Amino acid sequence: MKISLIGNGYWGSKIKKYIPDFFELRYVADSKFDRNVIWNDKSISSVIVATPMETHYSIIKEALLHGKHVFSEKPITLYEDESEKLKQIASDNGLQIGVDYTHTFARSLHRILELIDIIGNLEFVEMNTKHLGRFMDFDVYWLLASHYLSVLDMFMDIDLIDFKFEDHLYYNNLCTDGSIIFDKGRINVSTNFPGKEMSIVFYGDKGTIKYSPLSEKSIRITLYEKLYKKLPPELTTKDIYEHFDESNNLKYAIKYFKDLLEGKVDSNIDRAIKITRILENR
């Protein structure tokens, strides 16, 4: 299948190296490229959109109206009504839309989804992404927390959750350090942290599962019996480790799009619309 990449900046350059594993890359379009070349090329069935967030709606709409399937960098759009319009246009024209919420393609998280029952009833989820920069035209919720909302939706329907946003630090009147609080968890995100930390901890009544994509072991399962006034090693504990390479999750994102076009998986457009709705209406 022939495909074109629209956007060759920070994220587009990362995506580009994985495309040839699954597609024949025909054009790479920067801001000076005439997109009509792509729209008028009948051999191109699909495009990947990796342009600034605020341009997604107009470019994706153009692509769909010219009969191209679309895989878009997150978010699909900044407004729920625009996202719904794109979904409808795709449906009316027999086209597919996929959205690159990269974390949802991580093999570790899919493995945790299989293992989650081992820790009993899921009581709490703590998610953290902290690093230094980049300071951009959108707040830290759109830049970072949107990824964790997509992961959370793998484990519980985020449409059924009430979220509270707490801002801590600002740059140019945009939040750069904040938390999203909800009944069974919290999401902490920052672009002010001197270093880099990423983790998700799932707390159950029989133990925990920790996802650490930056560590040597990406999954750590700790099973324990809660004993009164006892501390490790007095607690009865059992640790289980598994590891998946987390350095090439974008490859699995592109594979997902190929599978979507081949009818092997469902579109994640509804998840993308949920996330846009939550962040737009916070």
One-letter amino acid identity for 174? Answer: L
Judge residue 234's burial from the number of C-beta atoms within 10 Å of its C-beta, 0-12 exposed, 13-18 middle, 19 or more buried. Answer: exposed
Domain 107-245 has CATH 3.30.360.10: yes
CA angle 276, 280, 282 (to 5 degrees): 120
Whole-number pLDDT of residue 119: 97
- Residue 236 has a pLDDT of 79
In angstroms, the first-to-last Cα distance of the chain is 40
Topology annotation, domain 2-101+250-280: Rossmann fold (3.40.50)
Please list the residue range(s) of the chain that carry CATH number 3.30.360.10: 107-245
Entry pTM: 0.94
Computed on alpha carbons and rounded to an integer, the radius of gyration of the chain in Å comes to 20
CATH 3.40.50.720 intervals, the chain = 2-101+250-280
**What per-residue confidence (pLDDT) applies to 24?**
97
Say which residues have a Cβ less than 8 Å from residue 179's Cβ, sequence separation at least 6.
Answer: 165, 166, 168, 186, 187, 188, 189
pLDDT for the residue numbered 79 = 98
Instruction: Mark the ranges of the chain whose per-residue pLDDT is less than 70.
Output: none
| pLDDT given at position 231 | 81
